[in-house]
A and B are shown apart, each in its own frame.
Chain A
Amino acid sequence: MSPLTLRSGRQGGELGRLTRAEWTKFRSVRGWMAGMTTAALVIVLLGLLSASGDHASCAGAGGVEIACPAPPVGPDGTAVSDRFFFVHRQLSGDGVITARLTSMTGQIRKPDVTPGRRNVVAGVVPWAKTGVMIKDGTRQGSPYAAVMMTGAHGVRMQHDFTHDVAGLPGGVSERSPRWLRLTRSGDTLTGYESADGTRWTRIGTATPAGLPRTVRIGVFAASPGDLTVMRGDLGGSGAAVRFAEATGVLDQVTVRGDTSGDWRDDDVGATVDPDGSVHHPGRASRSGGAFSVTGVGDIAPAVEGPTAERPLGGAPAALVLVIVVSVMFATAEYRHGLIRLTLLAGPRRGLTLPAKALALGLVTFAAALPAIAVTFAAGGRILRANGNAVLPVSLPTEARVVAGLAALFALAAVLALALGALLRSSVAAVITAVVAIVVPHVVATTSILPDSAARWLLRVTPAAGFAVQQTVPAYPHVLSHDAPSAGFYPLPPWGGLAVAAGYAALALGLAAFRLHRRDA
């Protein structure tokens, strides 16, 4: 008999050994390995298939169908909408622009009451904006900072599309004008507002990315389209956006600093119709220091358009396979009495399920990660090749989507495993896991439920974890139809994943408690 090897009882070493043993168990059952591989293939095949069938084209000059142009991008690479009417002149170095806004009006096209007859009413949309701006030229997406009055959100200071700071609330009229001021000192731009032009309140400061020494300074107006959200036939919702424009009247406009050249008018980012005319043009008039500027469009991050996560639509189907395999991995222990052998090999019951969960989670992550990465990258290429102007995504966001979704697969596997160990019935555990993870996501994102119910589901069920795949966030200063059916999740990416992780941990804890209490 060989001498007995007494090992030091380090818990880490023990968990490592048991985890390795669970991996050996997993890989030595052909059906489980095949199931996991199939799940990975389902992600790839469904993704590439849907991307291949997803074509888009836009009307080019002379009515020719062309690939849709990529949206302009802001200084940080975010797709942006950068369309407004700008009356501006050149400023070199430091300077100040001050203006008194005396009115903000506009018109909105509402749904036609009489078919075929335009139904235009007076009014401004909540995020219509007019005010003063400093911008690096008139190229779409170039850095800027602006102090503005909005349709319904008071005075704001915004810069570089994604940044928004609130000033004082309230509206504007001739009897209660709003004074706006923007100063440049080196790289720092500071916004102020005032009710009387003498006592000024600072709103905030901004450092637009890469703002050159020579910039354009002036007054502007823009108005995003009017958003109407309608209840769909099945109980979901749909959205329509109609034309709106805003007009700001600014007098006592003064610019201090090293200015040069005359005032220039630019309809920044205006689109040209096939017949050569500008689509919904803006306009401006000036007399002395008084300006009237009318603009269409928005200066904000773009949230409409094909998103980069679109090819990942096969994930829920693949998840069902992962759930089945994970449940079997747990229930096989009980069906064949293997649990006794497992407990003989690792009698510390607090480690049994963690080792199993760790092995399964790592296997699932390793299977899902490359499948998701390939689908995301190749699917994106196919979408772009098919003329889709996919909203660009930063590298950290891409990494978050790919790793996060693979992590969601791993968490779903652990949850299914725990349910299998808890319920000890394959059928019951598979149904429970699918109902908890897959079903809420499917019904919440397919325009079946009202938006509020869909949001609730994606907040309180493990399906909240799908938020990790959202590439374009919903911005508070952009009014959009940010419903789950449009790809917007109610929780932030890591927050959603944390909800899924919480469920997995809870189920694993309950299963471990049950294992701990009972004789095996």
Chain B
Amino acid sequence: MKTTIEVSGLRKRFGPVLALDGMSFTVLPGRVTGFVGPNGAGKSTTMRVILGLDAADEGRALIGGRPYRSLRTPLRHVGALLDAGALQPGRTARNHLLWLAHSQGLGSGRVDEVLDLVGLATAARRRAGGFSLGMRQRLGIAAALLGDPPVLLLDEPVNGLDPEGIVWMRGLLRSLAGEGRAVLVSSHLMGELEGTADHLVVVGEGRVIADTGVAELITAASRGRVTLRTPTPSAAIPALRDGGAAVDVTDGGALAVSGLPSERVVALLNANGVPFSEVAAHRVTLEQAYLDLTGAPAGHREAAR
């Protein structure tokens, strides 16, 4: 069986707050799954339940069919980055990884490999307390990769990285998925996942709102619209409406035409003698698709219940 993360029916209450309300999804190997939702949607709690740090009131979370707490060398099954700041400041980067390695029966050779992999080889013998946020993120990634696990859970891994680091992280995530691993990456910023994630699990209020491929999500959000730029919108709008299309004026002054394929739009414009400078299939950003999906700007939605 391919190793996956299976989350089904998780419920957890912190006092009066229902943090998880029937959270269910599956993370498949070989792709990067984005785990997105506003702050407080239950992403971190879900990850902590998957990793056996928190106990759910109901439901279960399995890795490769087993609960995390039953794993004997867990870091060889799952690598996780939760809080890059969880470090003993006086301990060197190498020793930080060494105790983790020893806990899994791994040697120092593997420690040097992952230090190399994340580009921290030269800082290996420096105290981690003096590391920048970006270096700590890299060290956290090294820890997650230590056991060469088939499953990775990374909570906001791009946080604090400089542009160069962000590019590096995206490349790393792609290549990890390319090696056949199941990679779950959480973010509260949709844009961070653009170009990285293949699949999205969108959550809000402690449950899954959408579980879909990135391409499908964007296509669905575009709904076959065509963007039209013309110097005479007053002529274009009635012509297209007469042709059976719905037309909206967008913020940039362009027209969004839906209901007709682009060839038909061009034919109608030519037939009516309307000049135009651009006709293109409309493509929404992931951010826009997400907002469409949740129906309101992130963090400003009214409670659904």
- Chain A positions near chain B (C-beta within 8 angstroms): 1-2, 4-5, 7-9, 13-14, 17-18, 20-25, 28-31, 332, 336-338, 340-341, 343-348, 519-520
Contacts and interface: CB of A to CB of B under 8 A. Distances in A.
A338 B80 contact: no
B80 A344 contact: yes
Which of A9, A336, A520: most chain B CB closer than 10 A? A336
3 shortest interchain CB distances as A-B pairs: A28-B95, A21-B103, A24-B99
A425 B77 CA distance: 34
Nearest to B98: A24
B3 A30 contact: no
Contacts of B102: 17, 20-21, 23-24
B111 to A, nearest CB: 11
A17 B103 contact: yes
A28 B98 contact: yes
Contact of B83 (A337, A343, A347): A337
Interface string B25-56: 00000000000000000000000100111110
A2 B76 CA distance: 10
Contact of B88 (A7, A13, A25): A25
B122 to A, nearest CB: 19
A520 B44 CA distance: 13
A338 B104 contact: no
A344 B104 contact: no
B91 interface: yes
A1 B180 contact: yes
Interface of B: 3, 48, 51-55, 68-69, 71-77, 80, 82-83, 85-92, 95-96, 98-100, 102-105, 143, 148-150, 179-181
A338 B89 CA distance: 11
Given A1-B179, A340-B86, A345 B75 contact: yes
Nearest to B52: A347
A4 B150 contact: yes
A232 to B, nearest CB: 47
A345 B90 contact: no
A24 B83 CA distance: 21
Contact of A343 (B53, B88, B100, B149): B53
25 contacts: A1-B179, A2-B148, A7-B73, A17-B105, A24-B95, A25-B88, A25-B99, A28-B88, A28-B92, A28-B98, A28-B99, A337-B85, A340-B82, A340-B86, A341-B143, A344-B53, A344-B82, A345-B100, A346-B103, A347-B52, A347-B68, A347-B74, A348-B69, A519-B48, A519-B53
Nearest to B146: A345
A9 B98 contact: no
A336 B91 CA distance: 12
Contact of A5 (B76, B89, B103): B76
B90 A341 contact: no
Given A332-B88, A347-B68, 12 more contacts: A4-B76, A17-B105, A22-B99, A23-B102, A24-B98, A24-B102, A29-B91, A336-B89, A337-B86, A347-B51, A347-B69, A519-B55
A1 B150 contact: yes
Contact of A344 (B3, B51, B105, B148): B51
Contacts of B96: 28
Given A17-B103, A28-B95, A341 B86 contact: yes
A9 B75 contact: no
A351 to B, nearest CB: 10
A138 to B, nearest CB: 67
A332 B90 CA distance: 11
B303 to A, nearest CB: 25
Contacts of B149: 4
Nearest to A28: B95
Contacts of B75: 344-345
